[in-house]
Each structure stands twice: as structure tokens, then as C-alpha cells.
């Protein structure tokens, strides 16, 4: 099946509705931060192996987390007190730990050097963010993603201590609700995120929902508020 190749001199993407059966919209181009912003505004994200060309996806079904659907189980609620939390303090290190963490059923990582560099630029622009869990001063879990309007697009998470990443996710959800966000884009369906309350929706539904909120700016400072954690 024909897959369009992106022009490095243009930021234009094909219509995500025209993705192939696997969910691939296009290939090629680069990871220019402006291109990444345009991609996420259109419900498209990069996902590829190091040895492959850049692949741009808009999956069907799509996984999203409605903020009110997050399942804060009793054991996790108890474990929230085991960690200290920070936002945006160690963004690049969170990305690197997400890249180096071994995952069942995965061989290698899509989080390569070029992606880290591009997302670090987006972080400097206030678009990409990290949520970090610390124990005894050590970074033991966390996640990162980027903001498009009132949507947080989650990219990856890691944990070195039981529940450290889930706890960071719980902190993220609490803050997003207070700040007026609409939902979290979880991209590709996984059992782990489904167990936390995420649900599958159609690509059409996701893009329609994204279109309603992706140009609405949220004014906030990504600072952990203690009263939201306890």
C-alpha cells in the first residue's frame, strides 16, 4: 500500500483520516520541533525503530484517558506518600530513563538521540513536560509528554521502584483536572494503561475531540502543589 513521503521543506501532513490499516499516515521528513507540533495538532505522532525511516502514525483505535476515569486504587493511594514529586526538573533524564528501561515484548526503543534533542527543545518552549517521582533524592519513576491545547499527549513512562510511575501519573491527572485540561492522549492501546482507566475510541472520535480543544490555550505553571497530592 502506498504511504506518502514527507517533504523536508514543508510542514504539511497528509490527512490522518487517510492513514493505512496499520495507522501509518506518512514516512520521512525530520523531527524539527515545528514539525512535531504540527503533527500532534493533527493527531499524528512519530513512532519508529532506530534503523527505520521516521514513521508518522494516527492509530485506529486510539487510547485516551478521561481524567475522571483514572482508577486510583487503594494500594496506589497509599503508596503516593512514599515519593516526592517534581515537574520539569529533570526532563531529559526522564526521557533517557524511559529509553533505557526494558519492556516486555519490546526489542529496543523508539526514543533515540534525535527524539530526545527535539523534545528537549519543546521542553524549553514550555510545550513538553515531565512528571518525576523521587525517593531519598533519587529519580525512581516518571513520565513525559507534551501539551496541545487542553490535551496532554503522553509519550512514555518508566519506573525503578514499584508504583513510582503510576504515582507520577496520578499526580499528573490531579493537576490536569485542576488546570482545566480535557483528556490525556495515550496513543497506542496497552493493557497497562487500560488497567488505569484508559479506553479505546475510534480515530474519527479522537480527531473530532482533539479539533475542539487543541487550539485552546491553558495558562498554568507546571508546579507541584502539595495540597493536590495529599
* CATH code, domain with 149: 3.40.630.70
Residue-wise burial string across 158-167, b where 16 or more C-beta atoms lie within 10 A, e elsewhere: bbebebbbbb
Does residue 184 sit in the same domain as residue 88? Answer: yes
Stretches in the chain below the pLDDT threshold 70: 103-108, 215, 217, 219
For residue 188, the model assigns a pLDDT of 93
For residue 11, the model assigns a pLDDT of 96
From 43, 50, 15, 46, select the one nearest 32 (Cα to Cα): 46
Does residue 203 sit in the same domain as residue 94? Answer: yes
Range of the domain at 141: 63-229
Contact criterion met (CB below 8 Å) for 179 and 150: no
Alpha carbon distance 144, 99 (integer Å): 11
Does residue 74 sit in the same domain as residue 54? Answer: no
For residue 101, the model assigns a pLDDT of 81
Does residue 13 sit in the same domain as residue 101? Answer: no
pTM: 0.94
For residue 104, the model assigns a pLDDT of 57
143 sits in which H/E element: strand 138-148
Does residue 72 sit in the same domain as residue 52? Answer: no
For residue 77, the model assigns a pLDDT of 94
Does residue 53 sit in the same domain as residue 69? Answer: no
* CATH code, domain with 22: 3.30.70.3550
Does residue 107 sit in the same domain as residue 203? Answer: yes
From 119, 125, 117, 197, select the one nearest 153 (Cα to Cα): 119
Does residue 51 sit in the same domain as residue 88? Answer: no
Number of domains in the chain: 2
Does residue 224 sit in the same domain as residue 161? Answer: yes
Amino acid at each position: 500500500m502506498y504511504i506518502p513521503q514527507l517533504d523536508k521543506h514543508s510542514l504539511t501532513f497528509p490527512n490522518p483520516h487517510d492513514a493505512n490499516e496499520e495507522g501509518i499516515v506518512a514516512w520521512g521528513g525530520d523531527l524539527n520541533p515545528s514539525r512535531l507540533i504540527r503533527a500532534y495538532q493533527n493527531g499524528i505522532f512519530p513512532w519508529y525503530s532506530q534503523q527505520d525511516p521516521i514513521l508518522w502514525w494516527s492509530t485506529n483505535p486510539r487510547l485516551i484517558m478521561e481524567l475522571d476515569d483514572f482508577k486510583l486504587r487503594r494500594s496506589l493511594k497509599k503508596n503516593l506518600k512514599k515519593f516526592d514529586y517534581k515537574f520539569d526538573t529533570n526532563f531529559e533524564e526522564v526521557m533517557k530513563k524511559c529509553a533505557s528501561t526494558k519492556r516486555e515484548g519490546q526489542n529496543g526503543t523508539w526514543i533515540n538521540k534525535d527524539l530526545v534533542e527535539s523534545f528537549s527543545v519543546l521542553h524549553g518552549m514550555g510545550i513538553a513536560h515531565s512528571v518525576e517521582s523521587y525517593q531519598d533524592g533519587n529519580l525512581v519513576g516518571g513520565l513525559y509528554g507534551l501539551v496541545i491545547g487542553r490535551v496532554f499527549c503522553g509519550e512514555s513512562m518508566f519506573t525503578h521502584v514499584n508504583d513510582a510511575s503510576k504515582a507520577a501519573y496520578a499526580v499528573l491527572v490531579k493537576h490536569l483536572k485542576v488546570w482545566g485540561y480535557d483528556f490525556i492522549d495515550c496513543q497506542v492501546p496497552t493493557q497497562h494503561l487500560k488497567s488505569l482507566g484508559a479506553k479505546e475510541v475510534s480515530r474519527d472520535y479522537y480527531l473530532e475531540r482533539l479539533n475542539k480543544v487543541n487550539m485552546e490555550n491553558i495558562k498554568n505553571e507546571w508546579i507541584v502543589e502539595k495540597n493536590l497530592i495529599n
